[in-house]
Structure 1
Amino acid sequence: MQVGIALLRYLADPALRARGTAATNKVESSNGYSKWLGFGGVLADNDPVGQEKLIKFNTLLANLVVFHNALDVSDIVRDLIAEGWQITADQLGQIAPHLRAHISRFGAYATDDLHRQPNPFDPLLKEVDFTEVGLAA
């Protein structure tokens, strides 16, 4: 009976359907991004341990690239704000973390820059007012 009530509520409430669709689209976007990044492995046999490793490594790779993208976007937003641009939380909410244009999956990678220390991680964009946006769903 509970499933029927939930289904009727879903059918009757456009806002609930929109929220469900948005969440589904985000998951599918993330899955597509992971698949796009995962060019190095093929699930060629029925070895469950190998399959699990491949999936976990691909998920780790996707998470690392999304994290790197978030750091780059944060740096760019800070630079724009320093130049006088007004950036809102709503505008930041429109940026997807699944950026691809800067990734050279099959290109040459230099490792001669590995000795440089990265800047410290600053997770807060103190310059942007997030109080207007309801971040909890």
Structure 2
Amino acid sequence: MPRIMAFDYGTKRIGIAVTDPLQIIANGLDTVHPKDIVEYLKKYMDTNPVERFVVGEPKQMDGTASQSALHVRGFVTILKKNFPDIPIEMLDERFTSKMASAVIAQSGMGKKARQNKELVDTISATIILQSWLEKGSFR
């Protein structure tokens, strides 16, 4: 069964998470620089079929688009251009970075791990994907 892949987009790093083959659990995959994302995804999808992308949608507290939403829309355009057969869904990503930091803190990792932005981005993508799975968006 193909996987579902989620992204926590940032201008410096993109956190990536994928489901297990049965699409039950979200797992952190990697963090990639935006300029390398298309090559990374093509290489990954050579051996792992992906049926859907879920992209974190940055919003402000009042639900309006945040300043980084323009960058995310550009990223979505790149995904559509390079992977036209893969549907893309957006999911509100408010608080995912804070939740990721809390997960790291609760795991017993030290302060240095909590400050590891790549780890935070990967966990944020995992939270986005797990939230999407729990929402039952694809069923």
Q: TM-score, normalised on structure 2?
A: 0.27
More RCO (CA 8 Å, sep 6+):
2
**Rg (Cα) greater in structure:** 1
Higher strand share: 2
TM-score by length of 1: 0.27
The structure where helix makes up a greater share of residues is: 1
